[in-house]
Structure 1
Amino acid sequence: MAGHRHHEPHGDDLLAAAKATLERSGEQWTAMRANVFATLSGFDKPASAYDIAEAVSRAEGRRVAANSIYRILDLFVAANLALRVESANAYVANAHPGCRHDCIFLVCDGCGSTTHFDDDSLTGGLRSAASASGFVVERPVVEVRGRCAECAAAGMAQSGQSTH
């Protein structure tokens, strides 16, 4: 794969990287934005604005409207702190917010897990093909639907097929 390796911060380091990235974009890192990012990064699958609003509401002990969460998520996507899984209308925290790449997602139809990876040669080829046809590319998003290794193995086991 023609990608490259990232140092992917976790926990407090990821929050610090997100804060620094947002502030470099000229935006403020408010307590609500910090809570939304921390909540989003805590999900193990793409989360909807409603999922995030519910979790933040529980944590803050007050109702937080999904509309407020959508506005923050739009800001996060624009600042590269979050990535939007288009087909699921859901979001994932960007594990390397200081680095911009086109989105490539592997979306499991079995368990809903979503893996993001970078392959600049693949997305560069898409950009080149689009440009060659006169299309101005703003933000390519590639989503590949299928089954993750665990769901594929479980499906084969249920059907009596060997995984080898």
Structure 2
Amino acid sequence: MARHAHQEHQGAELIAAARDTLTDSGEQWTGMRQSVFEELARHDKPASAYDIADNLSQSRGKRVAPNSVYRILDLFVRSNLANRIESANAYLVNTHPGCRHDCIFLICDDCGKATHIDDERVSGALREAGRDAGFTDVRPVVELRGLCDDCAS
């Protein structure tokens, strides 16, 4: 498999990498954006904007609107701080912000866990097929569903 090398971040290092990636792109790292990112990073499974808004509302003691969270998550996806799991309308934190490549997501139909693999042969072939069909700025979104090792055993 043609692998893409990148550095995975976690904890405070992940938050710092996300902040640096966002500010380097000309955007501001606000308190609310940090709160949304930290909440998303807490989840080991894809989280919806509603999940994040509910959790932030509880922790802040005041209502956080899902629409505000959606706008921030959309910015995070555009800035490569998060990935959208299309089939679940949910999001995963990108543990290697600033590293642009196309991920192939493996999603467990039983527990909901989502992981990603990198295979430039697959994503490159999909980008090429899109360009051959006359599309520009092709961004493959590949999701494979099945059972993870834990659920399969």
TM score, norm. by length of structure 2: 0.96
Alignment of 1:109-148 (within 5 A): 109-148=109-148
Offset at residue 137 of structure 1 (A)? 4.4
SS in structure 1 at match of 2:84: strand
Tell me how far apart the structure 2 counterparts of residues 9 and 127 of structure 1 sit (CA, whole Å): 27
Alignment of 1:52-71 (within 5 A): 52-71=52-71
Q: 1:44 is matched by which residue type in structure 2?
A: D
- Alignment match, 1:23: 23
Q: 2:94 is matched by which residue type in structure 1?
A: N
Q: 1:112 is matched by which residue type in structure 2?
A: G
- Alignment match, 2:89: 89
Q: Is the 8 A contact 2:130 2:138 kept in 1?
A: no
Q: 2:81 is matched by which residue type in structure 1?
A: L
Moved over 2 A (4+): 133-138
CA RMSD of aligned residues (A): 1.0
Between 1:133-142 and 1:21-30, the stretch displaced more is 133-142
SS in structure 2 at match of 1:12: helix
Larger of the two Rg values belongs to structure: 1
Offset at residue 6 of structure 1 (A)? 2.1
Q: 1:111 is matched by which residue type in structure 2?
A: C
Tell me how far apart the structure 1 counterparts of residues 3 and 42 of structure 2 sit (CA, whole Å): 25
Q: 1:115 is matched by which residue type in structure 2?
A: T
SS in structure 2 at match of 1:13: helix
Unaligned stretches of 5+ residues in structure 1: 154-164
Unaligned stretches of 5+ residues in structure 2: none
Between 1:67-76 and 1:135-144, the stretch displaced more is 135-144
SS in structure 2 at match of 1:44: coil
Q: Is the 8 A contact 2:127 2:139 kept in 1?
A: no
- Alignment match, 2:75: 75
- Alignment match, 2:99: 99
Q: Is the 8 A contact 2:131 2:138 kept in 1?
A: no
Between 1:84-93 and 1:115-124, the stretch displaced more is 115-124
Q: 1:152 is matched by which residue type in structure 2?
A: A
Instruction: Work out the percentage of aligned pairs sharing the same amino acid.
Output: 61
SS in structure 1 at match of 2:106: strand
Offset at residue 119 of structure 1 (A)? 1.4
Q: 1:122 is matched by which residue type in structure 2?
A: V
Offset at residue 32 of structure 1 (A)? 0.4
Q: 2:55 is matched by which residue type in structure 1?
A: A
- Alignment match, 1:48: 48
